[in-house]
Structure 1
Amino acid sequence: MDAFHRRGFLGLTATAAALAGAGCYPRHGNGPAGRSPAAPDLADPRLRAMAGLPQQKQLMLGYPVNMATPPPEFFAWRRELEAVGLGQFAFNNVGDPYQHSHIAFNTHMFERELVRRFGALYRFAAHDTWGFLSNSGTDSNMHGLYMGRTILSGHAGIEPNIYFTKEAHYSIQILADLLGLQRIDVGTHSDGRMSAESLAQRLSEYPNQPALVVATIGTTFKGAVDSLDEIQAALVGRTAYVHVDAALFGGYLPHTPFAARLWQRKDGSSSGAPRYDSIAVSCHKFFGFPSPAGLFISTHAAFAQFHELFSQVHDPEYLQQVPGTITCSRDAVKPAEFVFFSTDRAFARQRDDAEQILRDTSYVYDQMQTHFPELSPVRASPLSNTIYFRQPSEEIVDAYTLATMTIAHEGKREPHAHVIVMPHATREILDNFLTDLEHERAG
């Protein structure tokens, strides 16, 4: 039998039993290494109820969150930040980080550094980059869509339609509704990526309206990657703004042989043709940042157009600048902390993590194809760390916190689950998951 089956990790019965009756804070009786961790001496019963969470975090396979604890150097950096008051009293990043702030208690210099470093990874031209750190990936998407709508409606004199697929993150639907935009559904290929033919057809139905197109680099459930070049080809001759939602994949693709799929400039040089106008990347997904935050990066040209129109309507004089952000007060601690993840050493760690997750995704996919063909496992492309398959038992879904959806398969809709291989998911944990699938089938 295969290597995963020969290993004696947690079986389904042990995992399921440990989860039974766990409520909101499930606790496994034994960690993956077979240890029973000692509960810390906690006075607050709410904290005691959470005491088992650190020992089970590596079992979460269904959502795009890196549960690995950051290295000790990160917490040393936090202590340095605390020494100058960050996290000790009120700091606020209100305003445009590229303008002078009347409020000295900010970390705008860290925001500019983040945008510069990550902008270079995504091959934005150095002279044509703007951005900031937002509260979340959805917050970054909101700024991208608002910027696009403002630019397109301001210059065309008519509201744009918004084009995206059913595979896009659900927040895009909410934001389209929030902004009062007419949603135009675009078809997909079987793997979940946007169909350029469908996009061209839908665009032709509205020849006089500008187009706000959302490209997803790593769709929520299937892990598909929309082609920026195909989207640009469909938009030739149209007034358009392209926003990229790369919440998870934007973290690791720059460190892989597939980096060019995410480049803002077609050939990666400052003279290359632009392929999109703004991008949203989540900090808490691939990177392992311990709280939700998001990168928002746009071209400076797009921001300048937006800011000119924005300033005609909004002028918070008491800030002594027109910030160009939707949110007023913004977190100053997160940019200062997240800059730790933008150093050369951090990028080296991220390259290792990116290599690991794609290698281990290939491993799990091969094992599932070989040993569990009845689950019909699918991996959208070699770029993806996501595998989706027919939904297993509720015990396995709960034990590994698998996300589930009902999707079309072979002409009918069936419940599916997916595994997203993140840096915290060791080969042992993945083998444990495969062994539990085998136990379920045998039982």
Structure 2
Amino acid sequence: MLTRRRFLGQSALGMLTLAGGCAPASLVRLKDRAPVVTTDARSLAVKARRTALRDRVLGYPINMLMPNDDFFAWRQQLQAVGIGRVAYNNVGNPFERSSMLYDTRDIEKRVILDFAPLYGFAPDDTWGFVSNSGTDSNMHGMYMGRTLLKARTGVLPKAYFTVEAHYSIQILQDLLGIERVLVGTRPDGSMDPADLQQKLAANADSPALVVPTLGTTFKGAIDPLDEIQAALQGHAAYVHLDAALFGGYLPYTRHAVELLRGGSSGIPARYDSIAVSCHKFFGFPAPAGLYLTTAASFEEFHRHFSRVHNPEYIRHVPGTITCSRDAVKPAEFHYFTTTGARAALTENANGILQRTGWLLDQLRTRLPQYRATRANELSNTVCFRQPSQALITKYSLATMRQSFDGKADECAHVVVMPHASEAILSEFLADLEADTRVPT
């Protein structure tokens, strides 16, 4: 079995020999090829401008901080043993023995098992994989839910979510060919359990595929998982939790309990599967995601999935919708399970919540006309009335029509990510004070 210690200790030739092959000539040539570095004044100016623009991305949940030197040293060690230099492929189930010569599925499995405790999954009852994106994780969760509910009841489920859910949920509901049931929301944008209960009663003949959100896209609201489970009692259901952004940083704060599945004897778990993005809070420099569920749920799903997808070609039922998967991403993302990385994640997670509170206080004190709001203390999102187009462009602000005090208005939000320093936020506040779009 290829462990982290083992693969980082191998040379490229040794690693490839260990895998059962030999080093291709192209890989040997790559080792001797010097990188092309451009240092002319124009390129340096472009780089400086991009850095300034990067730091001012305030409207979207992307961590624009460049990963630290340790991450790139980790990446170089991976490349030194050939990972990322030849065609590695994580096709199939990472919890099955691999038939591929070049993959990192054992590392992928380790990533899932290392993250499992953060979400309350038992080490001996966990399954998952590193996906291509948060949407890919949501797709697998909704597909698993649809498959299990149809097999258990003989009836195709209906998908329950709110208008505040990520737009991928709407796409995936249509892709899966199931009917949607839009659930109403509370003033903060979270799912209304009372309305959910009414909608369930109105659709009593169909099982429910419920997709709550921990950190809605625009308002940063948190759907109440315990109240949702209470509403689902007596109704056949599967709950897939979209925690793309909040699922990244909350485990490193005092609010970590909000992510736990829970459940015990006689008490159902709060959700069946979860999606978390790697490229949002973590700052992983490529779209990727985590998908986790229980081993028991996967085994049940696997029995039905094998009837429609059982390729002899790879010698086992893959268990994932996507076939070939990027093998470099799990190996690189494994860095974020190290002690040093987790210390940095803890600092970043608590820092963004502190700065979000500071930004909200500043907006309410200095610029009350913007009517700034924050859905909850776990959220790193602050919503306010829309400023001028010049500021929307300068700070890459997302805008939507929202309701403030019962009146609809054009709104924007700031998502305080690790790169959004107090200096950048202060610059933003000064620009708002000078803006004339919103009257005092």
Q: TM-score range by the shorter chain?
A: 0.7 to 0.9
Code of the residue aligned with 2:323 in structure 1: it is C
Q: In the alignment, which residue of structure 1 is the partner of 2:418?
A: 423
Q: In the alignment, which residue of structure 2 is the partner of 1:324?
A: 319
Is residue 121 from structure 1 mapped to residue 118 from structure 2 by the alignment? yes
Q: What is the CA distance between 1:87 and its match in structure 2?
A: 1.2
Code of the residue aligned with 1:41 in structure 2: it is D
Q: In the alignment, which residue of structure 1 is the partner of 2:332?
A: 337
Code of the residue aligned with 1:87 in structure 2: it is G
Q: In the alignment, which residue of structure 2 is the partner of 1:250?
A: 247
Q: In the alignment, which residue of structure 2 is the partner of 1:107?
A: 104
Query: Can you list the C-alpha shifts for 1:322-349, whole angstroms capped at 9, x where unaligned?
Result: 0111111000000000010122222221
1:358 to 353, 357, 366: 353
Is residue 294 from structure 1 mapped to residue 289 from structure 2 by the alignment? yes
Call closer, same or farther: CA 1:306–1:339 in 2, change over 3 Å.
same
Query: Can you list the C-alpha shifts for 1:14-64, whole angstroms capped at 9, x where unaligned?
Result: xxxxxxxxxxxxxxxxxxxxxxxxx94399x9x986773133211111100
1:178 to 175, 178, 196: 175
Q: In the alignment, which residue of structure 2 is the partner of 1:12?
A: none
3-state DSSP of counterpart to 2:191: coil
Code of the residue aligned with 2:49 in structure 1: it is G
3-state DSSP of counterpart to 1:243: strand
3-state DSSP of counterpart to 1:381: coil
Query: Can you list the C-alpha shifts for 1:172-216, whole angstroms capped at 9, x where unaligned?
Result: 000000000100000110000111101100000011211000010
Higher relative contact order (CA 8 A, sep 6+): 1
| Matched-pair contact (CA < 8 Å) for 1:40–1:51 | no
Q: How does 1:117-156 map to 2 (within 5 A)?
A: 117-156=114-153
Unpaired segments of 5 or more residues in structure 2? 1-37
Query: Can you list the C-alpha shifts for 1:360-415, whole angstroms capped at 9, x where unaligned?
Result: 00000001011111111110000000001100011111111011111223333221
| Matched-pair contact (CA < 8 Å) for 2:281–2:418 | yes
3-state DSSP of counterpart to 1:60: coil
| Matched-pair contact (CA < 8 Å) for 1:227–1:261 | no
Is residue 439 from structure 1 mapped to residue 415 from structure 2 by the alignment? no
Is residue 226 from structure 1 mapped to residue 223 from structure 2 by the alignment? yes
Q: How does 1:9-408 map to 2 (within 5 A)?
A: 40-41=39-40, 52-266=49-263, 273-408=268-403
| Matched-pair contact (CA < 8 Å) for 1:189–1:195 | yes
Call closer, same or farther: CA 1:42–1:295 in 2, change over 3 Å.
farther
State how far apart, in whole Å, the 1-side matches of 2:135 and 2:253 are.
25
> 48-57 or 194-203: which moved more?
48-57
State how far apart, in whole Å, the 2-side matches of 1:378 and 1:49 are.
36
State how far apart, in whole Å, the 2-side matches of 1:76 and 1:95 are.
29
State how far apart, in whole Å, the 1-side matches of 2:298 and 2:388 are.
49
Query: Can you list the C-alpha shifts for 1:133-152, whole angstroms capped at 9, x where unaligned?
Result: 00000000000000000000
How many residues end up aligned between the 2 structures?
Answer: 401
3-state DSSP of counterpart to 1:188: coil
State how far apart, in whole Å, the 2-side matches of 1:134 and 1:286 are.
16
3-state DSSP of counterpart to 1:431: helix
| Matched-pair contact (CA < 8 Å) for 1:91–1:106 | yes
Code of the residue aligned with 1:236 in structure 2: it is Q
| Matched-pair contact (CA < 8 Å) for 2:118–2:259 | no
3-state DSSP of counterpart to 1:415: strand
Code of the residue aligned with 1:86 in structure 2: it is I
Code of the residue aligned with 1:147 in structure 2: it is M
In the superposition, the TM-score normalised over structure 2's length comes to 0.88
| Matched-pair contact (CA < 8 Å) for 2:279–2:286 | yes
Q: What is the CA distance between 1:256 and its match in structure 2?
A: 1.4
Q: What is the CA distance between 1:271 and its match in structure 2?
A: 9.8
| Matched-pair contact (CA < 8 Å) for 1:316–1:322 | yes
Code of the residue aligned with 2:183 in structure 1: it is V
Call closer, same or farther: CA 1:65–1:101 in 2, change over 3 Å.
same
Code of the residue aligned with 1:345 in structure 2: it is G
3-state DSSP of counterpart to 1:216: coil
State how far apart, in whole Å, the 2-side matches of 1:179 and 1:304 are.
21
Q: What is the CA distance between 1:154 and its match in structure 2?
A: 1.2
| Matched-pair contact (CA < 8 Å) for 2:229–2:268 | no
Q: What is the CA distance between 1:114 and its match in structure 2?
A: 1.0
| Matched-pair contact (CA < 8 Å) for 2:112–2:128 | yes
Code of the residue aligned with 2:211 in structure 1: it is V
State how far apart, in whole Å, the 2-side matches of 1:94 and 1:54 are.
36
3-state DSSP of counterpart to 1:52: helix
> 378-387 or 345-354: which moved more?
345-354
In the superposition, the TM-score normalised over structure 1's length comes to 0.87
| Matched-pair contact (CA < 8 Å) for 1:223–1:385 | yes
Unpaired segments of 5 or more residues in structure 1? 1-38
| Matched-pair contact (CA < 8 Å) for 1:243–1:277 | yes
State how far apart, in whole Å, the 1-side matches of 2:159 and 2:268 are.
23
3-state DSSP of counterpart to 1:99: coil
3-state DSSP of counterpart to 1:215: coil
